[in-house]
Structure 1
Amino acid sequence: MISAMRIERACADAWPAQVDEPLGEWRLRAAGGFTGRANSALAVDDPGLPLPDALASVCDFAHQHAIPPMLQAVQNSPVERDLPRFGWRPCEDHAAGNDVAVLLGPAVPRGGDPRGTGRPPTTEARPDAEPADHRVEVLAEPLAGWWELTIGRSGPTDAERAVLTGGDAVGYGLVHGPDGARAAVRGAVADGLLLVARLAVRPEHRRRGLARALMAAIGTWGGRHGASACVLQVAADNAGALALYDRLGFREHHRYRYWVPCEDRAL
């Protein structure tokens, strides 16, 4: 049984912040405001301090790095249950959604091509099937088209580059055809787990199997880099994504939320 603690720590390694400092077994993270995961304290297990002192340290670290204080906590964990007593509340206005489902599934998704070509299954004929004029690859370095699909620009900021290219084993899945990049995804392996993130498909190429093709390709790549399972983090209200991943064999393992102080003493 893979614990939530192991998954969250592996995800932190696979999605590295520019600054990552230990606080006991917590991790204080900052990356110029790029994503909640890289700009929050990961609160799993024991911070080595009484909780009020640990929360004060989270605020001090955030102020030092010019980001709002924020905590990432597993839902219904002992830490999360205690946060309201010390003046913290769920960050309900978090841009990407504050109720995040962490899904666990096979390294190579169900229905993926075990030969690793990245092609979607062909047992069903679909009227909107993608013409066979594209390539699915997992690259060692991100191309301009990959950046455009994942961040909306051909060049990243320093913080975006640090987070999205950091890690010990990172692959950049890309589907490209005559019209350029059509779909992209990021995969990173840490502690035997493959974290898949930033899956994006251009609107005119959606519902044509490209997401499945990328998941198969990045899963095969992850298996070659030692991953025995795959982790996804999806907003709990994203019904379309959850339905896709359910078909690929993923199941919810746990959830997490972001928490912020009701009153920031630095303001």
Structure 2
Amino acid sequence: MEPAETLELQCALAWPPVTGRWLGTWWFRAAGGFTGRANTALAIGDPGVPVTEALERVCEFAHSHGLEPAVQAVQHGPVERALAARGWVPNVAHEAGHEVSVLVGPLGGPAETARILGEPTPGWWELCAGTTEPSEAQRHVLTTAPALGYGVVEAGTETVGAVRAAVVDDVLHVSRLAVAPAYRRKGLAADLMAAAGAWAGARGATRCALQVSVANAPALALYHRLGFTEHHRYRYWVPATPACEDRSP
């Protein structure tokens, strides 16, 4: 099994920010506030400077993009210990859940009704982003990656299921899996996963990875049924006031 940091980077490359900056192997990210993953510093490995200085730069970068400073770190890893020692705390107020399980599993396939498109449709946007008019940040994050596919299940002219599939190296990264309420518990989520797996396998992927809040019990149950297991967890951390004040004039 590869280190958690390796898989974290592959997942991050499948979910690119609008603006990014590297500090050693730490990646500062900003995307107009659209998702925690695209608006935090991915703190893996060595920033190349003392951690205290690295965190000061995290704060400066976040403030320069109108964001509250936050760090994404592998749970129980050395970065978490360094964060705690410098007055940072887990962001328990994070709306989508501050503790996330990273799961790995088989590609699956073939699909019965789901198919993978080369471009997102209005119905895909509606299910995956909650709008048919995505913001610049939403459009960038969701339509940028080395290889992308947009999974859909359609009932007549209506899109009733959707998923985003991205391939980085040999990993299929799945996100934004959604099924319209009236069509749930009909196997559409599993079929979307199968379609994504078959599509990714044809593009060199050998396994699948995804990220789910530990509080999302229905999603975790679905993925466990599909053969996924937990690889590791990460958490979002924020500075305790006034450890990271905005110093801009």
- The alignment of Structure 1 onto Structure 2 pairs a total of residues equal to 245
Correspondence 1:18 to 2:18: yes
Match of 2:39 in 1: 39
Q: 1:162 aligns with which of 119, 136, 140?
A: 140
Match of 2:226 in 1: 248
Partner-residue secondary structure (3-state), 2:38:
helix
**With structure 2 as the length reference, what TM-score do the two structures score?**
0.96
Deviations 1:24-52 (A, max 9, x none): 01100000000000000000000001010
Correspondence 1:98 to 2:98: yes
Deviations 1:144-178 (A, max 9, x none): 00000011111110000000000110110000112
Bigger drift between 79-88 and 164-173 goes to: 79-88
Match of 2:89 in 1: 89
Q: Unpaired runs of 5+ in structure 1?
A: 120-134
Q: In the alignment, residue 24 of structure 1 is paired with which amino acid?
A: G
**With structure 1 as the length reference, what TM-score do the two structures score?**
0.90
Correspondence 1:257 to 2:235: yes
Q: In the alignment, residue 168 of structure 2 is paired with which amino acid?
A: A
Partner-residue secondary structure (3-state), 2:205:
coil
Regions of 4+ moved over 3 Å: none
Match of 1:266 in 2: 246
Partner-residue secondary structure (3-state), 2:177:
strand
Q: 2:194 aligns with which of 201, 212, 216?
A: 216
Q: In the alignment, residue 265 of structure 1 is paired with which amino acid?
A: E
CA distance in 2: counterparts of 1:155 and 1:224, whole angstroms: 31
Match of 2:168 in 1: 190
Q: Show the 5 A alignment for 1:15-164.
A: 15-108=15-108, 113=109, 116=110, 118-119=111-112, 135-164=113-142
CA distance in 2: counterparts of 1:179 and 1:171, whole angstroms: 20
CA distance in 2: counterparts of 1:145 and 1:6, whole angstroms: 34
Q: Unpaired runs of 5+ in structure 2?
A: none
Match of 1:123 in 2: none
- State the Cα distance separating 1:241 from its structure 2 match: 0.9
Q: In the alignment, residue 69 of structure 1 is paired with which amino acid?
A: P
Percent of aligned pairs with the same amino acid: 53
CA distance in 2: counterparts of 1:2 and 1:210, whole angstroms: 31
CA distance in 2: counterparts of 1:205 and 1:196, whole angstroms: 20
CA distance in 1: counterparts of 2:115 and 2:2, whole angstroms: 29
